[in-house]
């Protein structure tokens, strides 16, 4: 039986969950919140390292900015993807204006940029907003 580590989206505590129980609506051991809430996780300087290191499923991050029109248009599509694709993968976003050190570390040159991580390592990225079906196709091409 393999066990995965997940960061609670409510309290940021690490939780170990049997892989075969991901679809059973697991709860955080500390705060009892659902570990999969169908919502996009907000990344910042305080939680980004822990989330990257301790997300046992693929992690898709939307790098965006509040002034970016295409980013604003893509936000509801990304939110819908979170509702439909969890627990297969975790979706998160980082505001590149509020977190310029993360944007710099990841080499963000244009927004929106989507970065797919597996086991804390970047495995793919793409730039630009896209419809939900195209996003799902891109994820399948990446093996997710």
Of 8, 28, 63, 68, which is the active-site residue? 68
Cis peptide before 87 (omega within 30 of 0): yes
71 is catalytic: yes
- Could you tell me which of 79, 78, 82 has the C-alpha nearest to residue 114? 78
What does pTM read for this prediction? Answer: 0.94
How does pLDDT run along the chain (144 residues), one tens digit per residue? Answer: 689 999 998 998 999 999 999 989 999 999 999 999 999 999 999 999 999 999 999 999 999 999 999 999 999 999 999 999 999 999 999 999 999 999 999 999 999 999 999 999 999 999 999 999 999 999 999 999
Of 8, 28, 63, 71, which is the active-site residue? 71
- Domains and their CATH numbers in the chain: 38-141 (3.40.30.10)
Instruction: Supply the DSSP string of 54-88, one letter for each residue.
Output: T--S-EEEEEE-TT-HHHHHHHHHHHHHHHHHTTT
């Amino acid at each position: 039986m393999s066990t995965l580590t997940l960061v609670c989206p409510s309290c940021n505590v690490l939780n170990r969950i049997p892989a075969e129980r991901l679809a059973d609506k697991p709860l955080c051991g500390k705060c009892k919140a659902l570990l999969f809430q169908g919502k996009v996780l907000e990344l910042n300087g305080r939680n980004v390292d822990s989330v990257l290191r301790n997300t046992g499923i693929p992690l898709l991050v939307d790098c965006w900015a509040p002034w970016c029109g295409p980013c604003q248009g893509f936000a509801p599509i990304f939110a819908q993807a979170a509702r439909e694709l969890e627990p297969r993968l975790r979706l998160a976003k980082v505001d590149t204006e509020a977190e310029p050190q993360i944007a710099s570390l990841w080499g963000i040159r244009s927004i929106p940029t989507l970065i797919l991580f597996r086991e804390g390592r970047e495995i793919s990225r793409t730039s630009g907003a896209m419809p939900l079906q195209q996003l799902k196709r891109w994820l399948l091409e990446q093996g997710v």
